[in-house]
Chain A
Amino acid sequence: MTLALIVLLPFLGCFLPLLTGERGRSLCATATMLAPIIGLVLLWRHVPEVFAGETVVQSWPWLTRVGLNLSFRLDGLGFMFALLIMGIGLLVILYARYYLSKNDPMGRFFAYLLLFMGSMLGVVLSENLLLMMFFWELTSLSSFLLIGYWSHSSDARKGARMALAVTGGGGLALLGGVLLLGQIVGSYELSDVLVAGDIIRAHALYPVVLVLVLLGVFTKSAQFPFHFWLPHAMAAPTPVSAYLHSATMVKAGVFLLARLYPALSDTDLWFFMVSVTGMITLLVGACTALFQHDLKGLLAYSTISHLGLITLLFGLDTRLAAVAAVFHIINHATFKASLFMAAGIIDHETGTRDMRRINGLWRYMPHTATLAMVAAAAMAGVPLLNGFLSKEMFFTETLQQHQFGNFSWIIPLVATLYGVFSVAYSLRFIHDVFFNGKPVNLPKYPPHEPPRYMKVPVEILVALCLLVGLLPAFTVSSLLAVAASATLGGDLPEYSLSVWHGFNLPLIMSIVAMVVGIILYFTRRQLFGWYERLPDLDAKLVFENAIQKLVGRAGQFTLLLENASLQRYMTWMLFAALVVTGFWLVRLPVWQGEVAMSPVDGITLVGALILMVAAGATAIMHRRRLVALIMLSVVGLMVALGFARFSAPDLALTQLSVEVVTIILFMLALFFLPRYTPRTSSRTRSFRDLILAGLAGLLVGGLTFAVLTRPYDTIASFFLENSYSGGGGTNVVNVILVDFRGFDTMGEVTVLAIAAVAIYALVDGLRLRIPDTDMFGRGWARATRPLMLVNLTRVILPLALLVSVYIFFRGHNLPGGGFIAGLITAVALILQYVGSGEQWTTQRWGVNYHHLAGIGVLIAGLTGLGSFAFGYPFLTSAFGYFHFPLVGEVELATAMLFDLGVYLTVVGATLLILANIGKLSGSRTIRETL
């Protein structure tokens, strides 16, 4: 539980600074420290186990089927990292309390910081690789927030975006690598993966896994050629840089190298890829660092170079080199964090980070200067400081390599060169900033020492540098031993952590580096001149350019497919449907199946011909809209007759009544729409559409024919057998609607009601220009309402209502039912609107159609729910036969109540739609016109 708590605490704790942010800076900082302090205490309780060399694993099953478990692991390596993350984190919080200005929202800053801390702890304490991936991505995201904290600055935004793009991209590769690793081993738990090194290395996919994992590592740890994001991340507030670039973020990459060392190392591929990358990064970083005028820029490139060193050490692939790498991780974290903080203090007190302007600060801030000088000396690898120890180990290891054959001398040479540059840039950090004349034109003058407590974190870190450097055996050795043995996954090699190893080759390399470095620094003017003349290559511009191009291309591609033209979309969709369906149809050897065709009778033939001609005419005469509409109604009528012809009386009735309503609707719409269509499509386009339409017709026709001439299997017998005994009705179609598949019908009427409400919303506030004349320029007839029509509709109404009641009641046993009855009622009422006008009808029939449709859906739903009361599932129907005087034997079923709901919804929705559109034409202007 404790391990999960250590990881979770910062996440929980990130609410504290947000809550206290407004109530004073000290309170906010103290509240923020709570989580890491408790975390450190919890970590401390595991000291005995960890230093006894045990691995603590705490696990809870989560998504076991995909191999993802909430499992955490604490061993020497994880312990060391957790200690660094929380320890340096605490110091950074204290430092940031004084660094941030009053205008910076402090609560937000600390919340981001804790978010990041929790993510880092998750990475180093995860036992499950998938869980680690989750936290790995979280570090990318939360570092994005931290780097972009000063979101008003364009540099911060761009830097943050670049960091996210590079590390996020690497994370994607790493995820691939981790998934493959889990597939190979059969488990994502580190305990299983780390002992399966031999299986992994022997596997055919090992090179792929290695490349993917290394991509993740190299992007995160800013290795060449992915190093460019790190200097731009310097746009972050300095506490963030101190944290991200010393103990955390960039160390996540090398942490993973250490973590997976037993599983992936010990092959030639590992050696070449890791060591060569490390070597290039080491040199590029160290060399570029010397030429930076920005204080933080220098530290940034130095960080890149030190990360290269650690990577190179892991790449050298000897057990001792891995120990040196772990040692250097600790040392680099301490001196680099303190240097960043010192740089932040200088920036804070002088208002600039340009080393060409900051000179001779010794006189103004001797205390800070002393601290910074000691830390810089540690960075340079001066004896008696911690940096010296790991550097000596590094030099020793470079001399042990023979993998490059005759070119093995390259590695010690590169190492010495690195030493030269690191001495030179460290010297620049000391000499250029604190001595070398007087300050030039500082924004804040004179500079002075920072607040007392702002220096405390630096003091602590510098003291650690000194202590480790002087007395390694008493301070760091046991921690290093457990961390290194956890990395190696076994016994430690022999090594000694003493300052004096005798006069040997590594020491000579150190002395050479020191001397040449000093000479290099004092000849810097010529070197700077040479560097200035180099072509200017700003990674930010290159990156932004690439991104812009990519976005442009994506936009072009999107525009190609999605040009906001319905015609284009329709064409693509139809084309896709044709390809997908046509592919299978074409592969049929014969379209006609084995079932014999039934004979054609004369009347059906005539009907089909009328239908075909009318359909064709609708398409051909589509420019003359009224004619097309008349043709459409012919088609609808023939379809209704077709339903009747092929034993579907219910459908015929429904189609007929829907047809009436639809055509009225079209007529209403046509009143407002242009009556004639201009010819705008080009001939080629019409031809293309014709081809497409022809193919679609061929496809549907062919498919229908192919299906109809093949035998089929149906579940109809179930419905036919149970309709009467189970549903109490002989009209099987209606019983299916209100009983067997009542839930579907429930959905359908709800959709109908929703459509009606949506149409009401669309019509609401709609203003349409009412045409004065028809398309031939004739004015509207001014006659009053036709007398016959008015009287006839009024007579028809009660008759039609009677019919609809009849249809409704017989629906359960004979063709009819709620749908059809509803439509008939709607048509009868619409006739009143047509005959007598909207005003007249509304005065006499003041029914609110919204309510009607809503009540309908409610009745249907409540009927369904009613069956719960009797302990049956939703929409179970009950029925019985009752004897009424005069009427006789009558069947009553709850399904009828449901059908009543359907009926009311259909009436309500249909009238809601039609009356609303009709109202448009009944507006004042039109009435005056008419």
Chain B
Amino acid sequence: MELLYALTLGILTMSGVYLLLRARTFQVVVGLTLLSYAVNLFLLAMGRLHTGMPAVLGKADEYADPLPQALVLTAIVIGFAMTAFALVLALRAQGELDSDHVDGKGDN
């Protein structure tokens, strides 16, 4: 399972980083989103992979580590704010420069 998890994260990161290096704002934001998925999954895994033991008292005999989960929860919401901000920045650039190139260059 651990190997599969690591492999998934690797693919996710690879796709995210590749998109992050593209020249268009849309791709960069999509890449950023993929990368934040990877980061959140990575953080969760720092509490190790557990099956069927949510950190709710009385629901199981053993509990998964709640601390990374709490961190990831806020990270998801902040990640949304960041994605939204990046997107709006891209829109603003499109509006001001009439181009969606990350360096604000025209297409020609």
Residue positions of A touching B, CB distance < 8 A: 564-567, 570-571, 574, 597-600, 604-605, 608, 611-612, 615-616, 618-619, 622, 625, 628-629, 632, 635-636, 639, 642-643, 645-651, 654-655, 658, 661-662, 665-666, 669-670, 672-674, 677-678, 680-681, 689-690, 692-694, 696-702, 704-705, 707-709, 712, 714-716, 719-720, 723-724, 730-733, 736-737, 741, 744-745, 748, 751-752, 755-756, 758-759, 762-763, 766-769, 813-815, 819, 823, 906, 909-910, 913, 917, 920
**Contact between A730 and B47 (Cβ–Cβ < 8 Å)?**
no
Q: Can you list 23 contacts pairing A with B, beta carbon distance less than 8 Å?
A: A567-B102, A574-B17, A599-B1, A600-B1, A618-B34, A646-B49, A646-B64, A647-B51, A647-B64, A648-B69, A651-B72, A651-B76, A665-B83, A673-B90, A677-B26, A689-B22, A694-B14, A724-B57, A768-B91, A769-B98, A815-B54, A913-B88, A917-B91
By a CB distance below 8 angstroms, the chain B residues around A690 are 18
**Contact between B54 and A615 (Cβ–Cβ < 8 Å)?**
no
Closest to A568 in B: B103
**Contact between B100 and A649 (Cβ–Cβ < 8 Å)?**
no
CA distance A709 to B41 in the complex (A): 16
**Contact between A618 and B66 (Cβ–Cβ < 8 Å)?**
no
CA distance A707 to B49 in the complex (A): 11
Q: Which of B1, B9, B67 contacts A736 (CB 8 A)?
A: B67
**Contact between B37 and A635 (Cβ–Cβ < 8 Å)?**
yes
Residue positions of B touching A, CB distance < 8 A: 1-31, 33-34, 37-38, 40-42, 44-58, 63-67, 69-70, 72-74, 76-85, 87-92, 94-95, 98, 100, 102-103, 107
CA distance A625 to B26 in the complex (A): 8
By a CB distance below 8 angstroms, the chain B residues around A767 are 95
CA distance A600 to B70 in the complex (A): 26
**Contact between A650 and B69 (Cβ–Cβ < 8 Å)?**
yes
By a CB distance below 8 angstroms, the chain B residues around A571 are 21
By a CB distance below 8 angstroms, the chain A residues around B52 are 647
**6 tightest Cβ-Cβ pairs between the two chains A and B:** A701-B10, A697-B14, A705-B6, A693-B18, A755-B81, A730-B57
Given A564-B103, A708-B5, A752-B81: A612 in contact with B64 (beta carbons within 8 A):
no
**Contact between B17 and A692 (Cβ–Cβ < 8 Å)?**
yes
**Contact between B14 and A755 (Cβ–Cβ < 8 Å)?**
no
CA distance A819 to B4 in the complex (A): 30
- What is the minimal beta-carbon distance from A31 to any residue of chain B, in angstroms? 54
Closest to A625 in B: B26
By a CB distance below 8 angstroms, the chain B residues around A649 are 54, 56
CA distance A909 to B84 in the complex (A): 11
CA distance A636 to B79 in the complex (A): 13
**Contact between A741 and B53 (Cβ–Cβ < 8 Å)?**
no
Contacts A597-B3, A647-B64, A654-B77 known; list 13 others, CB within 8 Å.
Answer: A567-B103, A622-B27, A632-B30, A701-B9, A702-B10, A704-B5, A708-B6, A708-B45, A716-B65, A720-B66, A748-B74, A762-B92, A766-B91
Q: Which of B12, B37, B82 contacts A755 (CB 8 A)?
A: B82
- What is the minimal beta-carbon distance from B97 to any residue of chain A, in angstroms? 12
CA distance A733 to B100 in the complex (A): 40
Closest to A680 in B: B23
- What is the minimal beta-carbon distance from B37 to any residue of chain A, in angstroms? 5
CA distance A605 to B58 in the complex (A): 29
**Contact between A604 and B73 (Cβ–Cβ < 8 Å)?**
no
**Contact between A646 and B50 (Cβ–Cβ < 8 Å)?**
yes
**Contact between B21 and A733 (Cβ–Cβ < 8 Å)?**
no
By a CB distance below 8 angstroms, the chain B residues around A697 are 10-15, 17
**Contact between B4 and A604 (Cβ–Cβ < 8 Å)?**
yes
By a CB distance below 8 angstroms, the chain B residues around A661 are 80
**Contact between A608 and B55 (Cβ–Cβ < 8 Å)?**
no
Given A639-B40, A647-B55, A665-B87: A744 in contact with B47 (beta carbons within 8 A):
no
Given A615-B15, A714-B47, A759-B88: A732 in contact with B55 (beta carbons within 8 A):
yes
**Contact between A736 and B91 (Cβ–Cβ < 8 Å)?**
no
By a CB distance below 8 angstroms, the chain A residues around B81 are 751-752, 755-756, 909, 913
